[in-house]
Structure 1
Amino acid sequence: MAQSNLYARVLGTGSYLPSERITNQALADHLAQQGVETSDEWIVARTGIHARHFAAPDQTTSDLALIASQRAIEAAGIDPQSINLILIATSTPDFVFPSTACLLQNKLGIRNNGAAFDVQAVCSGFAYGIATADSFIRSGMARTALVVGAETFSRILDFKDRTTCVLFGDGAGAVVLQTSDEAGVLASALHADGSYSDILCTPGNVNGGVVSGSAFLHMDGQAVFKLAVNVLEKVALEALDKAQFQPQDIDWLIPHQANIRIMQSTARKLGLPMERMVVTVGEHGNTSAASIPLALDVAVRDGRIKRGQNVLIEGVGGGFTWGASVIHY
């Protein structure tokens, strides 16, 4: 039976970017060797991205998730053994199965303590994960949840396609949520429309031991942009309405860090000043499901986000999926 007086409250945040930082100029030089022309100016003007980080050849998605999770657990001041729900939002899992969440559980040394599973909603994955963990906690099915967004998108990029390969990077972000009678995750809204699946996809599958179809990311940039700016405003307003908030009640907007123009458009539509939007896309590019928790952790650790403030997170990704949550930090 649901216990309506329970909230899922954020106890700690953590993030991790791989050590290999690739500037726009370094990427442009590499692409030039393959006959692909681009430049720092071209990338910055269209995306706001200055650099991205790529995982080392021997680093897996669960490796990135582990470091972000350890930092979040340390910030939360909890025993890892108290975690009885692990969710990893990822589109780049270590294996077909088992889930990356199970692999992370093992690396954290947690044994047979609640559920662990992956959430696949691409760039909306962390928003989906927060809403799912919130539901588990409010229902009493979990008490302490670890929600992670982790990606190694560099592994699925076609470096002959400058419209996509300049956009993405690798990284991980994590939050620890715990049952509380104080306000925490106040409201969420989630949506999907599979009729748009072709405008952003990696349309490959394993068949007979080999990849059938394409294992590279494919994107119709203009179609994605148009859809994103439309649904992000609507889902943000829906989540705010559920929380009985107005946009001006929000202290910080943390949109999916994909493209500065989409992010600025969303802030304008909500009537929020740009200085109340957390922007980290310039340093790590689009890290898909990792981007929101990465930005959240940066803003918490540099002191911008303080206890008692209201945060709106929102994401949109392949599927097509989109979602938002209002969080009283």
Structure 2
Amino acid sequence: MNFSNTKIGSKARITAIGTYTPSKKLTNFDLEKMVDTSDEWIVQRTGIRERRIADENEFTSDLCVEAVKDMIQHHDVNLDDVDYLIVATTTPDTPLPSVASQLQAKLNLPSSLGAIDISAACAGFVQGLHLANALITSGLHRKVLVIGADTFSKVIDYTDRTTCILFGDGAGAVLVEYDETNPSFICSTNTTEGKAAIHLYYSGIANKLLDEDIITKGKIVQNGREIFKMAVNTLVNEIPKLMENAGMSLSDVNWFVPHSANIRILEAACNRLHFPMERVLFSGEYYGNTSAATIPLALKMGMEQNKIQKGDILLLSGFGGGFVHSSTLIRWTV
């Protein structure tokens, strides 16, 4: 049995959400002045019109702090008894210490909590939710703060039009608490296809990735065509399995909230899944691909537009470099 794709009784509920994006905008028209591209070309191929860019002295931990402040402002929550902190990011301020450990200090959280960063690229936020549910349902913890945040503008080559048109900066935070009477989580699935890692990477210490020589170091490198195919095929293959294991069908889903990498990926996947694009939440149009932050940004946007309602069934799907994928089916309880 594949236990990562099994309906398991949950005792965890999402109780609050907050988001943050920097004030600086980088529009498609700005990019026209930087690389050989155009607004029409970018919109047609990605659905992105603009993205937010962190200031020179603004880093991932700073975005996380602001997202948590936004959560506190809009929800009656207390963080004094948070006992675990998960930060999903691929662009930490520093490799060591973790963003999570820095946030413990910046947010004045209890020193008794566990704090980790997880690196699951654009699937990181959903992976974080999956872990939070497991930690709480197992009885090990009772209140987990999950944050997805990235500042890809710090590592993007703005002379490479294949990547610089895509990425923006942002953060989203949710609070997951013990509640066995009204849990959020229904079913989850996670997959990894490590052989595809060479198609999207940011080189660090190693000179090789798998058995391939790394030619480019110090910037994001992406084979867009291969990532497109991997993303569509993964969603089309894995989502029906998830729904079957949950004992539900896609017609039961009120909103599909996938990673907002590229609207064309989502259109292709939804076409093959026979799911209406009108019930897809996409944060990429005005925020770009914010990696681990796209899904919480889309969730908050859906709430503000009065689309997402309490009790709605949501399908969250993250996918990205690795090639990693994580989907979770939840009942919205915020």
Which bin holds the TM-score, normalised by the shorter protein?
Answer: over 0.9
Q: Does 1:26 align with 2:25?
A: no
More displaced, 10-19 or 73-82?
A: 73-82
Instruction: Return structure 1 stretches of 4+ with deviation > 3 angstroms.
Output: 73-76
Deviation at residue 206 of structure 1 after TM alignment: 8.4
Equivalent residue for 1:145?
144
Could you tell me how far apart the structure 2 residues matched to 1:110 and 1:235 are? 37
In structure 1, the residue matched to 2:78 is 79
Offset at residue 20 of structure 1 (A): 0.1
Alpha-carbon displacement from aligned partner over 1:202-247 (angstroms, at most 9, x marks no partner): 122289xxxx961200000101101110001222223222322110
Report the Cα offset of residue 187 of structure 1.
Answer: 1.1
The corresponding residue for 1:125 is 124
Q: Is the 8 A contact 1:200 1:217 kept in 2?
A: yes
Distance apart, 1:104 and its partner CA: 1.3
SS of residue in 2 equivalent to 1:82: coil
Q: d(CA) in 1 for partners of 2:320 and 2:127?
A: 11
Q: Bigger CA drift: 273-282 or 57-66? A: 273-282
More moved, 251-260 vs 239-248: 239-248
- Equivalent in 10, 17, 32 of residue 14 of structure 2: 10
Distance across 2 between alignment mates of 1:290 and 1:121: 12
Aligned residue in 2 for 1:167: 166
Distance 1:271 1:113 in 2: 47
- Separation in structure 1 between the aligned mates of residue 13 and residue 142 of structure 2, nearest angstrom: 10
Tell me if structure 2 keeps the 8 A contact 1:12–1:74: no
**Length-normalised TM-score, structure 1:** 0.93
**Aligned: 1:243 with 2:250:** no
- The CA deviation at 1:185 is 1.1
2:280 match: 277
Are the counterparts in 2 of residues 157 and 217 from structure 1 also a CA contact under 8 Å? yes
1:111 aligns with 2:95: no
Q: Distance in 2 between matches of 1:122 and 1:83?
A: 25
1:141 is paired with a residue of what secondary structure? coil
1:203 alignment counterpart: 203
Give the distance between the partners of 1:70 and 1:238, measured in 2 at CA: 37
Partner of 1:57: 56
Q: Structure 2: which amino acid aligns with 1:151?
A: D
Q: Where do 5+ consecutive residues of structure 1 fail to align?
A: none
Q: Deviations over 1:154-184 (max 9, x none)?
A: 0111111101110100001111111112131
> How far 1:297 moved relative to its partner?
1.3
Kindly indicate whether the alpha-carbon contact (under 8 Å) linking 2:82 and 2:110 is maintained by their aligned counterparts in 1: no
Structure 1: how far apart are the matches of 2:37 and 2:273? Answer: 33
Equivalent AA in structure 2 for residue 54 of structure 1: I
Residue 308 (structure 1) aligns with: 311
Assess, with a 3 A threshold, how the Cα gap between structure 1 residues 76 and 145 changes in structure 2: closer, same or farther: farther
Distance of 1:64 and 1:241 partners within structure 2: 37
| SS of residue matched to 2:205 | strand
Distance 1:234 1:16 in 2: 33
- Give the CA RMSD over aligned residues: 1.6
Amino acid of the structure 2 residue aligned with 1:180: D
2:155 equivalent in structure 1: 156
- Note if contact 1:152-1:171 (Cα within 8 Å) is conserved in structure 2: yes
Kindly tell me the number of residue pairs found equivalent between the two proteins.
Answer: 317
Letter in 1 for 2:111: N
Match of 1:184 in 2: 184
Is residue 227 of structure 1 aligned with residue 226 of structure 2?
A: no
Write the letter of the residue equivalent to 2:87: I
Amino acid across the alignment from 1:192? T
Q: SS where residue 322 of structure 2 aligns? A: coil
Give the drift of 1:5.
Answer: 5.6
Match of 2:262 among 247, 259, 262: 259
Moved more, 236-245 or 184-193: 236-245
Greater mean deviation of Cα atoms: 150-159 or 267-276: 267-276
Post-superposition shift, 1:303? 1.7
CA distance in 2, matches of 1:16, 1:234: 33
Distance 2:97 2:315 in 1: 32
Distance 1:154 1:161 in 2: 12
Please list every run of 5 or more consecutive structure 2 residues that lacks an aligned counterpart in the other structure. 1-7, 208-214
Query: CA separation in 2, counterparts of 1:240 and 1:291?
Result: 22
Q: Describe the superposition over 1:247-305 as per-residue Cα deviations: whole angstroms up to 9, x where unpaired.
A: 00000000100000011122222222111111221101111111111111111232211
CA contact (8 A) 1:83 1:145 kept: yes
Equivalent residue number for residue 302 of structure 2: 299
Give the secondary structure class of the aligned counterpart of 1:173. strand
